[in-house]
Structure 1
Amino acid sequence: MSAEIPTPRAAKPFTRSRLVKSNRRQMLLFAALTVILTVATVWGSRVWLNSETLVFAVGSANGPEARFAAKLAAMLKNANSRLHLKIVANPDSAKALAQFDRKQADLAILRTDAKVPSRARAVAILERDVVLLVSPAGKKIKSLAELKKRKVALVADADSGGATFIRKLLEVSDDPAFASRLQLAPPVTNFDKLLAPGGYGAVIAIAPVSRLLRDKSIEQQVRRGGLILNDISESKALVRRYPGLTEETLSAGMLSSTPAIPSEDLDTVGLQWLLVAQSRLSTAVAVNLARAIYENKGELALENGFASRIEPASTDKDAFIVAHQGATDYLNDDTKSFVDRYSDLAYLGVAVLGVIGSLFAALYTKVTRIAPEKASALATAILDIGERMEHATSMDALDALQDELETVLRGVVIGLRDGTISKDGLDTFKLGYEFVRDELALRRESLKRHAGHDDNVVIVKTAQSA
């Protein structure tokens, strides 16, 4: 039997692997973008919501307040804190507090003998000033009342208001004669020169504790002149009379250990320098501010010692200036735990993840995803095999068509499994496959009958196949 075998059409390259890899890459890319954008959105929201610029009202630009504010601003910047300071200088401390009182500033520094704004809340004690009562050797002072019989030198920083404070403390306004004997001396004047014979009978000085601990000049003056540091026996009564005052103790050996200066503990009074914030300042911001200050105290000390001994603000409810709730929470370790602090971010993250994930899922499904081929579309290949079957005049041609038909079927089964072929039109494909398969069987029987002898058909097929 000599029949021409038609050349089978070249099978269309199957693109299942390419489709799967392309879609998988897209899914991985969108998943990664979802995570990256979610983290970026949540972090950006956290920074934006928690970032705060605080206005810090200070006195003169060369004063300790302004220099401390500059140190604090630099520390916050170096620590990449979300808090930022805008420093506003004023002619003096009183005008800075007035600005604070008008709610034009969030932070200020005040000494407790100043007029305290009603909305001021303490964040930290930056410095303590103590009152020193010094007299010549052999002329111990037993009470402040004795001062009214002496010529007294007052040593205090000119812009600190110390002179006014001492005059109020000694009730100078009630004794005009004593007022004339109480004279302001330059801050740098040595005690031993002031108390030299023919000079003053006593010196009252207001000195920061940090300066007393660092500056050895007072120790040298006391030792050189044989001066006496006196108790202020009325300290408790004065504290009760003037709420801004605090009881202070000059410990034995505080100025010098050998010889001990003072020789024993001395009671006196003092004032506190407080960093205050507006009561309306949020608790979270105040907590962050308190944390930054207390955990970086070493970076905030000034060259002259101011703020070198930062202390916690009093959290007592009857304190002269009530502590800010944020400072209280930090000092009492009542700040939020890690879970509490970041729970809001977790909820935000879940919401953002859902929105971004939905957007990318819609984008992948509707736009970028390479859609699987419909099973009904492959029915065309089946019917094409059926059309070519009519021209097959040999068993080898039918076998080739049968192999092609099975290849298409195998591809559909695998595609249904890995998703590169959808089930749309599967019934149509199934019907076409069964039709062509049955037609091939009938065509094979027809060729066998026309051959007239089954053995000859087998021989011809074998010869041609060889």
Structure 2
Amino acid sequence: MQESIFRKSAIPVAIGSIIMVIIFGIAWFRDQNDVYTLTLATGSKSGQYYAFGQALSKVVSRHNPHLKIKVIESSGAVENVQLLQDNKVQLAFVQSDTNVSPSTKAVSFLFPEMFHLIARKDSGIKEIKDLEGKGIALMPQGSGSYTMFWVLSEHYQLDKTRLQTNSMMPLEAHEALNQGKVDALFRLVALGNPAVIELLQNPQLELIPIDQGAALKLNLPALEEISIPKGAYNGSVPIPQQNLPGVGVRAVLVTRKEIKQEIIFEITRILYEARNDLVKEFPQAAMINEPNNYRNLGFSFHPGALDYYNQGQPSFIVEYAEPIGLFVSVSVLFISGIWQLRLWLKGKQKNRADLYNLQLLGIIAKIQTIEDVNQLNAIRYQLLEMLEKVIIDLDKDLICSESFQSFTFPWQVALSSIHQRETLLIRKQQQKMIIVDEN
């Protein structure tokens, strides 16, 4: 009877167990084969944003088959920010001067985009001021190029009533300049843009210098003073014929703060660790810089990106071991000094240990200022000589065993401080060597 009941109750348990195994198996299988898709807002198809987006999508898929980036065309940075805020995209390209909401987080600073002012030689345009009264082709409204032209015109105090501007799509603007329908074109684009290279093969066109980069940066810190190198757009007959003063702004890959931390970590990792593959697809990717130089430009980084950038950073205790060690050492010596003073006041013991401890205090303070490993070795030898003198004094009963013990602890602290300082100096030397190698 009991055996029959047991068998009947065991059957549902077994069936339930099998179902749970199947459910967990399906979940595991889906997790292993799921593809996480993110949509990336870029720019016009003729621009560098779109080209780099395509390159990034290809390289990310190659290095992580569970990640897919869908690239879409847009009118530029302003629309990209709006698409991101409306949750219609999860990634976007903007410029480092773009105002973004707190919910928008940076993933990485990318390549610089240069101000390109191209004019017809027969237009009489030789500098920014000459744009007044001329026909100027601008990029579509809402693009970073369009916005930055008006920043430029305000800095140079151009009379807006005398500016004959016309917003166009990039290819349309290039064609209008080629055919002489406009006198000049202003566009923000990375160096080496194929459409700009083709445009500048027209001998009737030339690049106009923008020579007040440092002054522009005073009011807009996101700008960078970057020259257009001689021959950047043609090597045989150099275009430009000499290094041309210019201004640039850094492109930034941004995301929504709600995007999973591990997803952004993986995209950041691929950006930096698959750099060679990315450069093959998009050469300007070689100009992607570490984010430390850009933390003051109003962007906060996504936690996933920070996880990648902070890899290998020492813990708080390791990073601040020297000041902590100094604080502990000074504290111990202070307490030791008070204790010795108490003994002296009570008349129990008066010996030469106080002198040695004071010397140790001076040595510890000196250690923290030394910048030469050889000097640390000299102080280490000095400590050994001091220890030898104290042992002799102990043997001659000039100090008592309790005083000797009170000496040995700060002596060991001093020796440890030498080791800590030595480690720090070696680390600094290695970092300088790495920086030199990278340069």
Q: Identify the structure with bigger relative contact order (alpha carbons < 8 Å, sequence gap 6+).
A: 1
Normalized per residue, which structure has more helix? 2
Q: Give the greater-gyration-radius structure (CA).
A: 1
